[in-house]
Structure 1
Amino acid sequence: MAAWLCEPVSESQTAPLAGITIVALEQAVSAPMCTRVLADFGARVIKVENPKGGDFARDYDDVVNGLAAHFVWANRGKESIALDLKTAGGMEVLHQLLDGADALVSNLAPGATARMGLAPAELAQRHPQLIPVEIDGYGSGGPLSHKRAYDLLVQAESGACAVTGHPEMPAKPGPPVADISTGLYAALSIMALLIGRAQRPSGASAPAVAVSLFDTMTDIMGYPLTYTQHSGIDQQPLGMSSPAVAPYGAFATRDGQTVVLGTTNDREWQRLAREIIDRPDLADDARFATNSDRCAGRDVLNEAIGSWCAKHDLAEIQQIADEAGIGNSRYNRPSEVIAHQHLKDRDRWRPVTTPNGEISALLPPPVIAGFEQPMGAVPGLGQHTDAILTDMGLSAAQIDALREQGAIGPAYPSTRDRSN
């Protein structure tokens, strides 16, 4: 491991992944989410970007003080180096980075890494310690392997849109589920191989990892696919409900709110019927004795629950449901979640630095005793180019020469320059 790669810009030495370095050829969401998770656990992430615009997610919008919301969310805690990998100088710098890195994460277009000489077999020869992780759309060896793939496209191909929305009105789940989940599987693979590398035979190169959005989504679709495989039935989407259990859904309240009530077993159904909506007749009705029965009769149950909820305010419904031990929640819009008291009381918001000023962001989900995720800065395009090259041992003259060759991006402007 190159010594300079072991000193991250800002990282607690108690971080679980302190001393681990990840090089990323990434864009959009899936690979950036993978590397952001690793950065959250203390890894040093060096994001390699094209000097001409960088990660195209930088330009999705400009709502975060002139920056894109997707980019800000998925790229904190990273360093950005601007390299033109179509030049010999840019590729040589990349290989010097890989000499001291633990993993290379990429999600470029199909075949791009192979065309660049970065296929797993080539990396195993030149950088045997490196874990190559390639995220793509459909995986190799199939009729779709050549296709570009984005979150919505893969959600449609995998059947996820068909089980979301309403009958004959398919929908895409709001968050980019395919991208996020694939990124998490990729990060988990890296962590597993880092743990297991002590058992790797002497002289053996690190295993390569390939994770596709399609394989991830077919895994996430495990319940619907298993149900259809064994029943022959394509379940219909039910909006804010579930084809798997009933009663389970959203109901309008007297004060104009929406409450979501859920039961997952016979005991909870009995309590909901008897203690909340005061319908012992439904509790005793043999037509609703089992979950399968209740799914078949969900319209009757939804009407009864909806009628009761329409006569009560949200706060009262939630109090009664809590006392009865019935799961419940309030339907919130994003603007209401941002102001959510539960997040405030649990101190979940943290400041994050960006090139255009400080913002607030939520801590990652894992709460680990004795360790808080560093929540590092969101990098500007090429912000760390000169610092990384200097740490690699290049002189100012050598850096200038690379810049003149077009191998690296322009010098990153100072704070004063950017404010003018």
Structure 2
Amino acid sequence: MLNLQNTLVVSLEHAVAAPYCSNRLAQAGARVIKIERAEGDFARGYDSTVHGESAYFIWLNQGKESLVLNIKDSKDAMLLHRILASADVFIQNLAPGAIARAGFGSDELAKLYPRLICCDISGYGDSGEYRGMKAYDLLVQCESGMASITGTPDAPGRVGVSACDINCGQQAYSAILEALIEREHSNKGCIIKLSLFDSMAEWMAVPLLHYDYTGIIQKRVGISHATISPYGAYTCGDGAVIVIAIQNEREWLTFCSDVLGDPSLQKNPKLQSNQLRVANRSYMDQLINQVFSGLSQSQVIERLQQGKIAYGKLNDISGLSNHPQLRRISIDTPSGKADVVAPAAIHSNKKHVLQKVPALGEHSDLIRRQFSK
């Protein structure tokens, strides 16, 4: 049976993707040794939002042990080898080629430590003309086409969080768990390779299939769904915005009668299927706006609830901060306690343990003593 409480993870990491992955492993009970340069993970310097600490670093490094190493130094390199000899997982997301030049490439480690699971996270993978390029989240959002379908009709936009990094880190976490389960049976480690580009390209499957098989490029539609309608934001008479989602024809019929108050729309030839509603989006939006403009947001919500139509409010970050469904936990940081978003998964047989965010090199002496021989 897989038990992450007995799992040692070593992560030579910076920024977001690899730290996200190792943070998930730490939350699942693994011991995670985070290897940092003398100047630290550069995400420590992204901002000073939380008691002088970086919001990015606080988010991604709970429950880890910080070990400062210079892997170009022979003594520190030998220490890393001693740690890896006892480790279960090794994660790295250094610049292209850097880990191999330092003597810790996955192929070499697989020969030295057959049970070790190695996870290499890169921008574009090990092959192809982009293999040597540095890659950061915004760049990959642009290269993958994500930015081209995000935003308003007037201009493309960036997804407002590090979507490529988070996606890749989550996929790395899943792949490592699969490898740990497989090792329970085979007693053999493996090499896992992921790239930010591949991870985001997988997310782009639907718009890519639409283009490959129809030649149609998905349009930017702002706070609306590109291929389902009505599914988007509408302004009410009091200026507040409501977002509605119609997923099937049964809901469309109910929406016409119970929310718009016009059952005759059900037989309108321009609106009798989702594809027709997408093609005639402007016409349909005009009909909806005519009704919603005469109602307050609370009145619209009342009708939507009566019709059991899915809806949401278009919150800003202050709305999220005060959202009745938002769960938080309090953690220790190098500069004091901080309230952060609680892990999404709630386990019936496991209580979340509050974990500390490490100061730079906080565990260096302890780890060096433990692996001194």
Which residue is equivalent to 2:73? 87
Which residue is equivalent to 1:185? 171
- The answer as to 2:279 corresponding to 1:293 is no
Q: Identify which of 62, 74, 87 aligns with 1:76.
A: 62
- Residue identity in the other structure for 1:36: N
- Deviation digits for residues 10-42 of structure 1, max 9, x if unmatched? xxxx99521111100111100000011111111
Kindly state the Cα deviation for residue 230 of structure 1 after the two structures are TM-superposed: 0.7
Which residue is equivalent to 2:98? 112
Which residue is equivalent to 1:23? 10
- Residue identity in the other structure for 1:256: G
Which residue is equivalent to 2:126? 140
Which residue is equivalent to 1:361? 340
TM-align CA RMSD: 1.5
Which residue is equivalent to 1:56? 42
Which residue is equivalent to 1:264? 247
- Structure-1 separation of matches of 2:88 and 2:65: 16
- Residue identity in the other structure for 1:87: D
- Structure-2 separation of matches of 1:359 and 1:82: 24
Kindly state the Cα deviation for residue 315 of structure 1 after the two structures are TM-superposed: 2.3
- Structure-1 separation of matches of 2:170 and 2:354: 18
Q: Is the 8 A contact 1:246 1:263 kept in 2?
A: yes
- Deviation digits for residues 359-402 of structure 1, max 9, x if unmatched? 111211111112133241111110111122223357xxxxxxxx
Deviates more, 1:158-167 or 1:316-325: 316-325
- The answer as to 2:49 corresponding to 1:32 is no
Q: Is the 8 A contact 2:79 2:371 kept in 1?
A: no
TM-score w.r.t. structure 2 length?
Answer: 0.97
Which residues of structure 2 form unaligned runs of 5+?
none
Which residue is equivalent to 1:156? 142
Kindly state the Cα deviation for residue 109 of structure 1 after the two structures are TM-superposed: 0.2
Which residue is equivalent to 2:31? 44
Q: Is the 8 A contact 2:2 2:181 kept in 1?
A: no
- Residue identity in the other structure for 1:353: D
Listed as ranges, the matches of 1:231-242 within 5 Å are 231-242=214-225
- Residue identity in the other structure for 1:25: L
After the TM superposition, which parts of structure 1 deviate over 4 Å for at least 4 consecutive aligned residues?
none
Q: Is the 8 A contact 1:15 1:42 kept in 2?
A: no
- Deviation digits for residues 148-174 of structure 1, max 9, x if unmatched? 000111111111111111224111111
- Residue identity in the other structure for 1:325: K
Q: Is the 8 A contact 1:77 1:377 kept in 2?
A: yes
- Structure-2 separation of matches of 1:168 and 1:259: 22
Which residue is equivalent to 1:322? 305
Kindly state the Cα deviation for residue 281 of structure 1 after the two structures are TM-superposed: 2.7
Kindly state the Cα deviation for residue 307 of structure 1 after the two structures are TM-superposed: 2.4
Which residues of structure 1 form unaligned runs of 5+?
1-13, 395-420
- Structure-1 separation of matches of 2:77 and 2:130: 30
- Residue identity in the other structure for 1:383: E
Q: Measured at CA, do residues 369 and 180 of structure 1 come closer, stay the same or move farther in structure 2, by a change above 3 Å?
A: same
- Structure-2 separation of matches of 1:361 and 1:248: 31
SS of residue in 2 equivalent to 1:359: strand
Kindly state the Cα deviation for residue 199 of structure 1 after the two structures are TM-superposed: 2.5
Q: Is the 8 A contact 1:77 1:374 kept in 2?
A: no
Q: Measured at CA, do residues 275 and 307 of structure 1 come closer, stay the same or move farther in structure 2, by a change above 3 Å?
A: same
Q: Is the 8 A contact 1:40 1:375 kept in 2?
A: no
SS of residue in 1 equivalent to 2:325: helix
SS of residue in 2 equivalent to 1:18: helix
- The answer as to 2:285 corresponding to 1:302 is yes
Q: Measured at CA, do residues 15 and 123 of structure 1 come closer, stay the same or move farther in structure 2, by a change above 3 Å?
A: closer
Q: Measured at CA, do residues 111 and 129 of structure 1 come closer, stay the same or move farther in structure 2, by a change above 3 Å?
A: same
Q: Is the 8 A contact 2:258 2:306 kept in 1?
A: no
- The answer as to 2:336 corresponding to 1:373 is no
Which residue is equivalent to 2:113? 127
Kindly state the Cα deviation for residue 273 of structure 1 after the two structures are TM-superposed: 1.3
Q: Is the 8 A contact 1:58 1:71 kept in 2?
A: yes
- Structure-2 separation of matches of 1:80 and 1:321: 51
- Residue identity in the other structure for 1:26: E
- Structure-2 separation of matches of 1:332 and 1:196: 43
Kindly state the Cα deviation for residue 235 of structure 1 after the two structures are TM-superposed: 1.1
Which residue is equivalent to 1:195? 181
Q: Is the 8 A contact 1:363 1:375 kept in 2?
A: no
- Structure-2 separation of matches of 1:220 and 1:286: 34
- Structure-2 separation of matches of 1:28 and 1:365: 21
Which residue is equivalent to 1:5? none
**Identical residues among aligned pairs (%):** 36
Kindly state the Cα deviation for residue 242 of structure 1 after the two structures are TM-superposed: 1.1
Q: Is the 8 A contact 1:16 1:41 kept in 2?
A: no
- Residue identity in the other structure for 2:32: V
